[in-house]
Amino acid sequence: MDGPMRVLVTGGSGLVGRAIEQVVKEGERREGEEWIFLSSKDANLMSAEETRSVFQKHRPTHVIHLAAMVGGLYKNMRQNLDFWRNNVFVNDNVLQTAHEFGVVKVVSCLSTCIFPDKTAYPIDETMIHNGPPHESNFGYAYAKRMIDVHNRSCFEKYGRRYTAVIPTNVFGPHDNFNIEDGHVLPGLIHKTYMAKKEGKALQVWGSGRPLRQFIYSLDLARLFLWVLRDYDEVEPIILSVGEEDELSIKDAANAVVEGMGFKGDVIYDTSKADGQFKKTASNAKLRKYLPDFKFTPFKAAMKETCDWFVANYDIARK
Amino acid sequence: MDGPMRVLVTGGSGLVGRAIERVVKEGERREGEEWIFLSSKDANLVSAEETRSVFQKHRPTHVIHLAAMVGGLYRNMRQNLDFWRDNVHINDNVLYMSQEFGVVKVVSCLSTCVFPDKTTYPIDETMMHNGAPHESNYGYAYAKRMIDVHNRACFQQYGLRYTAVIPTNIFGPHDNYNIEDCHVMPGLVHKTYLAKKEGKPLEVWGSGRALRQFIYSVDLARLFVWVLREYDEVEPIIASVGEEDELTIKDAVDAVVEGFGFKGEVIYDTSKSDGQIKKTASNAKLRKYLPDFKFTPFKAAVKETCDWLAANYDIIRK
């Protein structure tokens, strides 16, 4: 492909999309490149016609595909059919339309939460399809896994090198902070903000014992750009801090409390589900390619996120 | 649901559909029941609009969903992307429209060829998602597996008891006998017919050592009707002869040769792929429900199929 890239980012108004927008603005953009950030206002990607229209309008050479129906543990448990169907439509529309419009490369977004539930640890990129996912989000999980099936079969038939990244738990500004439906860190941040404001205890759902690797959205954004430019494999790549940086939910809650300057009680409601106990992922493949990549220290990233939330409470998605 | 069923059969003009049509005509139909057999001429089920129209026209209470993009080993190896996409669209359209139109029950059709490649034997209904399918047909395999994902998610979210049947290798009249694209039994039947007619040797692809359980389409049809009326689980059920009736491809060749009275030479072209060496399935669940069900003896079923092909050669799909 000659000339500079024209990159379309679906889900551009979300947690990861906004982070990519920030790093592109702050120095990652190259001469002549065009970056277009779409949101659901621009097109409903569950519709093939609307997807086609938006590709026709922008004629991208590259796509970063982040758009999805996404939710935390409790929402997934209620709506597995919707998570399956809506995401399969979005993904098929974007990948198929990209191929039809001659897009050179699509980088989609998977997640370690889609891996087999019964597995050895740490998980790595070769293990995605080795067994059923966790019961709590099997609809979402299968829809995401099928991106990899589509990529492999598209490469087989057309030689297209469409690929995907697999982040662990992402956090940062511009997240969905809705307490019922959001993920663990934005949920904790929002709840701590409310607890502090109302002078009440912070109630954490679950035991606090599950383990997670957290990746700051800005670090993930920088890695997305590297994958877009320099990662040539069709097989996806895990983007995460190392196994040695795995934290418990309790560790995360403590960092949120510190980041928000919360002085009240912290209570763990053990009647609520914990979700998967661990999802430890290996970042050996990433380290093979980028041995010197530096992740933002967790507490600093948490402080930035808390500060952002406090400063932007009115406009934050919740 | 009150009153007699109105049953829509998608893929009604195919191997299994024609067998169901026959058993319904020959005594399985009950008072007041209506059975509608659709073919691709009536609707292109890859299209959501056309699927909706056909549901609007017939307003079924029940659906037997057989329509699919189907092929034998060699076709699948070339076109995994198309097998994945077209079948996912067909399945989603039929299952979703069924739900929209208040269909009480849908019985879809899976296959033992969608099971994990690396597995212990015999395989049973609980093992379908326990690992990646065989490389040769993963597009088709994942699309079929996702029917079960859809059924489970639909039951979880809406309480609908949509289910599926898992036959082993089916054969019978009205099959697709195209030698390039079809399955092993119809391929053998067609090639033996031509070899006899042209006085040439019969060339069998592969070593003849691969093992299969074969089920006669007319027996499968009777089982489909039983599942529709009496089987209440959402988890699918294997419909097959027992493990003790597993045969080699060579056994099948011998039965076809006998069925036609073919006297010429039989050559095994070992340069051609065997596909999966075995796929032994347990029919224990079926036997628990129907301990006395009688399968048509293999040689008699093969003879009927050979006779049918010879009598109908001009109109067969080839």
Structure tokens at B136: 């040769």
CB within 8 Å of chain B, chain A residues 266-295: none
Q: Give the pLDDT confidence of A243-252 residue by residue, as tens digits.
A: 999 999 999 9
> Active-site residues of A: which are they?
140
What is the maximum span of chain B, computed from C-alpha positions, in angstroms?
60
Which residues on adjacent β-strands are paired with residue B202?
Answer: B266
Q: Is the pLDDT of residue A291 over 60?
A: yes
Q: Give the pLDDT confidence of A21-36 residue by residue, as tens digits.
A: 999 999 889 999 999 9
Report the alpha-carbon distance of residue B97 to residue B106 in Å, rounded.
Answer: 11
**Coil/strand/helix, residue B94:** helix
Q: Measured in Å, how far apart are chain A's first and last C-alpha atoms?
A: 41
Q: What is the pLDDT of residue A278?
A: 85
Task: With residue B35 as reference, give the H or E element that holds it.
Answer: strand B34-37
Q: What is the pLDDT of residue B1?
A: 60
State which amino acid sits at residue B274: D
Q: Which residues of B touch A153 (CB under 8 A)?
A: 80-81, 84, 138-139
Q: What is the pLDDT of residue A284?
A: 97
- Torsion over CA: B99, B101, B107, B111 (sign): negative
Contact yes or no for B153 and A139 at CB 8 A: yes
Nearest to A84 among B79, B138, B149 (CB): B149
Report the alpha-carbon distance of residue A275 to residue A313 in Å, rounded.
Answer: 28
Nearest to B149 among A138, A149, A157 (CB): A138
Q: What is the pLDDT of residue B74?
A: 56
Report the alpha-carbon distance of residue B62 to residue B106 in Å, rounded.
Answer: 6
Apex CA A237: angle with CA A234 and CA A243, to 5°?
Answer: 160
Q: Which residues of A touch B89 (CB under 8 A)?
A: 92
CB within 8 Å of chain B, chain A residues 59-88: 78-85, 88
Q: What is the ipTM of this complex?
A: 0.89
CB B181 within 8 A of CB B312: no
**Can you give the C-alpha Rg of chain B in angstroms?**
19
Stretch A204-233: mean pLDDT: 96
Q: What is the pLDDT of residue B318?
A: 86
| DSSP letters for B190-217 | HHHHHHHHHT-PEEEES-S--EE-EEEH
* B180 alpha carbon, distance to own chain's centre: 18
Q: What is the pLDDT of residue B73?
A: 57
Q: Which residues of A touch B79 (CB under 8 A)?
A: 157
Report the alpha-carbon distance of residue A201 to residue A193 in Å, rounded.
Answer: 11
State which amino acid sits at residue A159: G
Nearest to B156 among A80, A132, A149 (CB): A80
Report the alpha-carbon distance of residue B144 to residue B265 in Å, rounded.
Answer: 38
Give A102's contacts (C-beta < 8 A, 6+ positions apart). Answer: none
Distance from CA of B74 to the nearest CA of A (A): 14
Is the peptide bond preceding residue A210 cis, with omega within 30 degrees of 0?
A: no
Report the alpha-carbon distance of residue B139 to residue B83 in Å, rounded.
Answer: 5
Contact yes or no for B88 and A88 at CB 8 A: yes
Report the alpha-carbon distance of residue A207 to residue A219 in Å, rounded.
Answer: 29
Structure tokens at A260: 């928000």
Q: Give the pLDDT confidence of A75-133 residue by residue, as tens digits.
A: 888 899 999 999 999 999 999 999 999 999 999 999 988 999 999 999 999 999 999 99
Confidence of residue A74 (pLDDT cuts 50, 70, 90): confident
Structure tokens at B250: 């060579």
Task: With residue A247 as reference, give the H or E element that holds it.
Answer: strand A247-248
Structure tokens at B29: 């139909």
Structure tokens at A51: 């997807």
Q: Which residues of A touch B157 (CB under 8 A)?
A: 78-82
Q: What is the pLDDT of residue A1?
A: 60
Regions of chain B where pLDDT drops below 70: 1-2, 71-78
Apex CA A287: angle with CA A284 and CA A289, to 5°?
Answer: 115
The count of residues in chain A is 318
Catalytic residue among B138, B140, B142, B177: B140
Decide: pTM greater than 0.90.
yes
Stretch A251-262: mean pLDDT: 96
Does A130 reach chain B within 8 Å, measured CB to CB? yes
